[in-house]
Structure 1
Amino acid sequence: MPLEEALLRARVRRLTHASRPRRRRPRASRRSTDPREVTPKRTAQLIVGAFAAALVAGTVLLLLPVARVGPGGASFMEAFFTATSAMCVTGLIVVDTPTYWTPFGQAVVLALIQIGGFGVMSFATVLGILLARRLGLTARIMSSAETKSPGYGDMRRVLLRVLATTLVVETLVAAALALRFAAGYGYGAGQAVWHGVFHAVSAFNNAGFALYTLSIMDFATDPWINLPLIAAVVLGGLGFPVLHELRREWRRPRRWSMNTRIVLLATVVLLSAGTVFLSAVEWANPATLGPMRADEKLLAGFFQSTIARTAGFNSIDVSAMHPVSWLGLDLLMLVGGGPAGTAGGLKVTTFVVLGCIAYTEVTGGAAVNVLGRRLSRSVQRQATTVVVLALGAVAAATMVLMLLHEDIGLDRLLFEVISAFATVGLSTGITAALSPAGQGVLIALMFLGRLGPITVATAMAARPRRALYELPEERPLIG
């Protein structure tokens, strides 16, 4: 019968289907073996690789005879160290920038500063946007990781805003400096514009390279030079997310994000505390602030407090400062500026998070709160990881330099190490005196400090494996 036949066929199909070996569906969490897959590790590798490629290109350009004053070209270490310092927007030098490099070499240094401050991947992505007018997923992920942007979809708009902000600030500061150089110091139009542009770019990108052998010491008492540089350093150090939010919501502080409020509050506190500390310690020092008037001392103290976060100019002789001032500058350099900007250091947000964690533990709180908001545990782990890796790198590098240079004191070596790692560029005058091995240590620190310990560690780490089980929990004694 038709009905019985249909039931029999249905039963046969079920039995046949049950007897077939089932294919194992791939789990969603199983990692793809496609080398083109954009994973966190691959993202870090691409950023580090792009940075290294740009560094090689800059070194090759500085090795050309046309880049150096006099016959022949620069040595490899001179070119490599200068290119690294410029790309990492640090400012440490082993040769005198205005007398050793030709205008071509100075232009190469300036280009490396601009690319390094803006971000290698971000710079390449902007060029792609301008030429192709579209942005692929991989480029969005790379740029988002480099600029610390929370999303991928609007990266085109984010990068163009960053570019516009950079050009506007640098143009305004360059114009102010050029006018002062021309009106106050008798520079010709071309020289005034070149000096204004170079120092504006160097200041906004927190690089600290100067076209003067004594950096800004010849202008230590001139507010028309100091204040534009301070403004550029502070704006670059706040970070692009803060600048963009202030532009949109500057009339409504209650709508500011936690990141913006932390960066602004910490910046005001650190600038004020640094100014008071440096001015008080160096007030009577005849080699630094001693010969100046009271208002000039405050200006120089304010300038040096700002520069420590993390530009690298100096309006007073750093090598003649009191060792206590060096220690204070160590702390300011290590903290640095805001995230997703041109400043270096461990970032003010990292230290605020650590301070809030400590406060919560001391007071017996259940959750870590900052400015009326609860911090996620991932942010707490990330802040702790950054500080632990950074302190480990600083301690290891300092010990290596102590072994290589037993004739140099710990305070000067530690100052040099922190300045390199925090990409500041301040020095007590020992950079050029270090051995090639010692300078190599500083190169590694600048590279690590600019890209970030987590980025470099992720790029070098082995492929992560998913844990299939957890070990029993136990609490060791702390403290």
Structure 2
Amino acid sequence: MRRLLRHPVRLVPFGFLVAILIGTGLLMLSPMTTHHEYTPFVTALFTSTSAVSVTGLAVVDTPHYWSDSGLVVITVLTQLGGLGILTGAALVILTVSRRLGLHNRMLVQAETLEYGLGNLRRLLLHIGATVLACETVMTAIVTARLWLSYDYSLGRALWSASFHAIQAFNNSGFSLYPDGLLAFSRDPWVSLPLAMGSIIGGLGFPALFEAVREWRRPARWAVATKLTIWGSAVLVLLGFVVFLLIEWANPRTIGRYTIPDKVLAAFSQIALSRTGGIEVVPPTMLREESYPLLTGLMFIGGGSASTAGGIKVSTFFLLAFVIWTELRGEPDVTVGHRRLATASQRQALTVALLSVAIVAAGTAVLIALTNHLPFYAALFEVTSAFSTTGLSVGVTAALSDAGHLLLIALMYIGRVGPLTLGSAIALNTRRRLYRYPEERPIVG
């Protein structure tokens, strides 16, 4: 433990692992299921990992298998996993004691490396207030809609709205309905608030706070904020247009909708599937052309220090600027009149290539473990697990225990891997007093 405390960044994967094991133990208890029987270990472990990693993949029928107590545990695990284990613990300490000691601030900095120690208390309070405000607004709108228009009782409407609001903001894919939000795909009062909450939660708190603070002067935003905000806007808009064109005439998805309903369903699905996993259009009914689009969006994910997974928007667009600079023959990579550090370029390249390797290896292993599983389905499930998105083409529940354990490992790595890797790279920066002679090998 002293070694862990000496390097607080190492506590991040340790904290997530402890939370997963605690959640697994709770979900194995008989009161957590509707049939009041003990849950098998792998099923409980998979569900707990999926909740803590804010993925939302499920091996059982969530609304029918888990009791209200089990759903509450899943909701708490999702909220804790979305905030971050150390950040959530620090918020509890602040709430109870109204102070945060130097030791605890150093631990929290493992998850918020962008900030200095002096700003952490105010940062944590802003995070807590932002999460509470966003989830409250979504809950209020959806509750009113379900209560007034769908003949839900007030209690049932409030429970359903709050559950889905927490899932949407934390970019998780659990739902109280077997077919996700398919029944509300043409209802803007339900799908739009949840879609916008997913987008906001996927931006990341650093970019979100700076964008709000300097909303009149976006030219003054930091490079990371510009890449995240404008990059997310480009991905959502481009994904929405392409998805709408592909599925426009598909009678099994949105082909039978009116034009406004097609636009609403396509936008909501892209917003909720880029980083979250709640279904608005059934993934099993999509045209084959839609799977590469969704797989790419899931792999990119959301913003840094957000509730979303993936390699992150800033990483993807930073590499895009590196490629564009190389094609133009420029000596430096610049974004918004700022030169990007070489170390940042190396870190982005490392994260991207390692992620590609993990997804490729996971896809190969999953195909080997499962008979007659199509390549696109294996790639989709593996990418969804690694990017902590939660969309599924319907094969997760049918996998063997070995397949489930593989997805569990991918969800865990996807939630803590990029963060741990980036922190490890930053901590392992070395300074040498000499340099070797330069040589340029042939490339391409």
Scaled by the length of structure 2, the TM-score of the pair is 0.95
Output the CA distance in 2 between the equivalents of 1:467 and 1:137.
Answer: 32
Report how far residue 467 of structure 1 moved.
6.5
Q: Which amino acid aligns with 2:252?
A: A
Output the CA distance in 2 between the equivalents of 1:169 and 1:36.
Answer: 34
CA contact (8 A) 1:448 1:456 kept: no
User: Once structures 1 and 2 are overlaid, which stretch shifts more, 293-302 or 449-458?
Assistant: 449-458
Matched, 1:302 2:282: no
Output the CA distance in 2 between the equivalents of 1:407 and 1:296.
Answer: 36
Matched, 1:355 2:320: yes
Report how far residue 209 of structure 1 moved.
1.0
User: CA offsets, 1:375-394, max 9 Å, x none?
Assistant: 01111111011001101100
User: CA offsets, 1:99-144, max 9 Å, x none?
Assistant: 1000000000000000000010011111222233332333223322
Report how far residue 459 of structure 1 moved.
7.1
* 2:408 counterpart residue number: 443
Q: Which amino acid aligns with 1:86?
A: A
User: CA offsets, 1:185-237, max 9 Å, x none?
Assistant: 01111111111110111100001211001100111111111111111101101
* 1:127 counterpart residue number: 92
* 1:247 counterpart residue number: 212
* 2:73 counterpart residue number: 108
SS in 2 for 1:154: helix
Q: Which amino acid aligns with 1:188?
A: S
Report how far residue 362 of structure 1 moved.
1.0
Matched, 1:57 2:22: yes
CA contact (8 A) 1:207 1:424 kept: yes
List aligned pairs for 1:245-324, cutoff 5 A.
245-324=210-289
Of the three residues 159, 163, 173, the one matched with 1:208 is 173
Matched, 1:98 2:63: yes
Relative distance call for 1:160 and 1:229 in structure 2 (3 A) is: same
Matched, 1:142 2:107: yes
CA contact (8 A) 2:273 2:279 kept: no
CA contact (8 A) 1:44 1:456 kept: no
CA contact (8 A) 2:4 2:10 kept: no
User: CA offsets, 1:383-424, max 9 Å, x none?
Assistant: 011001101100110110111113110000000010011110
List aligned pairs for 1:307-456, cutoff 5 A.
307-453=272-418, 455=420
Output the CA distance in 2 between the equivalents of 1:35 and 1:207.
Answer: 33
CA contact (8 A) 2:247 2:286 kept: yes
Q: Which amino acid aligns with 2:125?
A: L
SS in 2 for 1:281: helix
Q: Which runs of 4+ in 1 moved over 6 A?
A: 457-460, 462-469
Output the CA distance in 2 between the equivalents of 1:61 and 1:183.
Answer: 35
Matched, 1:217 2:182: yes
Q: Which amino acid aligns with 1:196?
A: A
Output the CA distance in 1 between the equivalents of 2:174 and 2:236.
Answer: 21
Output the CA distance in 2 between the equivalents of 1:76 and 1:147.
Answer: 33
Report how far residue 243 of structure 1 moved.
2.1
Output the CA distance in 2 between the equivalents of 1:246 and 1:478.
Answer: 40
Report how far residue 251 of structure 1 moved.
2.3
Report how far residue 341 of structure 1 moved.
1.1
Relative distance call for 1:267 and 1:388 in structure 2 (3 A) is: same
Report how far residue 345 of structure 1 moved.
1.1
Output the CA distance in 1 between the equivalents of 2:315 and 2:430.
Answer: 28
Q: Which runs of 5+ in 2 are unaligned?
A: none
Q: Name which one, 1 or 2, has greater alpha-carbon Rg.
A: 1
**Aligned residues with identical type, % of pairs:** 44
Report how far residue 300 of structure 1 moved.
1.1
* 1:82 counterpart residue number: 47
Q: Which runs of 5+ in 1 are unaligned?
A: 1-33
Relative distance call for 1:457 and 1:151 in structure 2 (3 A) is: closer
Output the CA distance in 1 between the equivalents of 2:422 and 2:206.
Answer: 25
* 1:5 counterpart residue number: none
Matched, 1:187 2:152: yes
List aligned pairs for 1:224-235, cutoff 5 A.
224-235=189-200
Scaled by the length of structure 1, the TM-score of the pair is 0.88
User: CA offsets, 1:52-90, max 9 Å, x none?
Assistant: 011111111100100011131111111110110010101
* 1:168 counterpart residue number: 133
User: Once structures 1 and 2 are overlaid, which stretch shifts more, 469-478 or 445-454?
Assistant: 469-478
